[in-house]
Structure 1
C-alpha cells in the first residue's frame, strides 16, 4: 500500500447504525464506520487465521460426513469468506452482515473483484441481518462461529454490539454451536476479562492465539469450545 496515495471516497451511506464509507487509497480499499477505521484490503492475515484457528480446533469429521458448518460474523472486505470458500473442508458457510451497503459493495460494487467466486460458491449464503439478533433468534446450529464485527470485545464499533460479549450474548453463541463446536473471536488486543467471560459462559479449552502484524502489538484470536 502506498501510504502517500490520496484517499478517495467511493461511496458514503447512512444506515440504521450510522454512516458507513468505502474508500480507496491507491490499490487498497478501506471500510470506515461512523468515522472509525474497521479494515482494509492491505493484508488479511488475521482474518484468514481466524478461519484456520476455528477449523484447527474442531475434531476431524467422520469419514463420509458432511463438512462442518461455519457462521462468519461480519463480511467486511471478505478475507474470511474468501479463505473459507477456498477450503473444501467446510460445508455450509453463512455470513451475517448488518450493513446492506457492505453486501452491495461485494455483490455489485468494487469489492466484488475480491470475492465474486466465493459469493457464487453454492455452499455460501450472505444474510443481511444483525449478528446479535441472528444468534438470539435463529434455530440453526453451526460447528464454528468466526466473529469479526468489532475491533475486539473491549472496543466495539457501536454500543449495540456490546451485547455480543455479555453473558447473554455468549450464551447465544453457545446455543448456536453444536457439541464440540468452536467460537473464534478476532480482537485487536488480548482481553483477560473476555477469556474469563467465555469460561463463565461454559466454554472449555479457552485460549488466546496471537497474530503477528507488521507494526505494533499482535492481533489475537480468542478461542473456546462448546463442550455439550
Structure 2
C-alpha cells in the first residue's frame, strides 16, 4: 500500500514524498524521479569518477543521498551538493530519507547549496576533481526545460572549465542518449559509457568523460 508522506509545492512544481512498503519515492508533477530501492547506478556515478585520493567533488542533485554516501565512503576530501528543492534537502537532513544514507549531510566534509544547478555552475569560480550530475532522467529527458543547457555544446564547455586537469565529468541517465554521447566525445578526450542493469525497464546509462 502506497502512503503519501508529504506533498509540497517546490521550485519545479508539486513534489510528493511517498512510502511503498520499505521504499520511499519522490514524484515531481506526477513524474517519477527517484526511489530508495536500489541505487546501484547512483553510487557508481560517484565511485566511477573518483580515481584519486582526497578528491574535491561536486554532486548535482541530492536525490535520496545514495551518491553522497558513496562519495564519503570512497574517501572524498570534500563534497559540494547542489540541490534546488528545499523539501528534498529537508527530507534528507531531518526527515525519513536521513536513514537511507546514514545522516550523510551531517558529515563535516559536506556542504549543501540550495540553488538551481545550471545557474550555480555558470556563476561559480570553484574547481572540482569530479562533477557528478544527476538532476534529470537523462540528457534528453530533463525535469525542467532550463536543464537542457547543461547538455548542450556550451554547457559541456562550461563543465569542462570547472574541472581540474585530469578531472572527470560523470552524467547519469535513465536510458541511452546517442546524440548527447556523440556531443560529449567532441568536447572530452576520453569518454566511457557504462550501462547499468535495473530490475525493470531499460538499463540506466552513465558517462565518464575526462578533461
Give the TM-score band, short-chain normalised: over 0.9
Normalised to the residue count of structure 2, the TM-score between the two structures is 0.95
User: Of the candidates 149, 153, 177, which is equivalent to residue 163 of structure 1?
Assistant: 149
**Equivalent residue, structure 1, for 2:162:** 176
Over aligned residue pairs, what C-alpha RMSD do you find? 1.3
Q: Point out where structure 1 has 5 or more consecutive residues left out of the alignment.
A: 1-5, 62-66
- 1:31-180 counterparts in 2 under 5 A? 31-55=26-50, 58=51, 60=52, 67-88=54-75, 90-180=76-166
Q: Distance in 2 between matches of 1:73 and 1:33?
A: 17
**Deviation digits for residues 181-226 of structure 1 (CA, Å, limit 9, x no counterpart):** 10010111122211121123x2111121111112332111011111
Q: Distance in 1 between matches of 2:5 and 2:84?
A: 20
- 1:11-26 counterparts in 2 under 5 A? 11-26=6-21
Which has the larger displacement, 107-116 or 131-140?
107-116
Q: Point out where structure 2 has 5 or more consecutive residues left out of the alignment.
A: none
**Deviation digits for residues 52-102 of structure 1 (CA, Å, limit 9, x no counterpart):** 1112xx4x45xxxxx1111001001111011111122x1111111010110
Normalised to the residue count of structure 1, the TM-score between the two structures is 0.89
On the 8 A contact 2:45/2:170 being kept in 1, the answer is yes
Secondary structure of 1:77's counterpart equals coil
User: Of the candidates 9, 16, 19, which is equivalent to residue 4 of structure 2?
Assistant: 9
On the 8 A contact 1:195/1:207 being kept in 2, the answer is no
Q: Distance in 1 between matches of 2:4 and 2:147?
A: 26
**Equivalent residue, structure 2, for 1:64:** none
How many residue pairs get aligned? The number is 211
Moved over 3 A (4+): none
Q: Does 1:203 align with 2:188?
A: yes
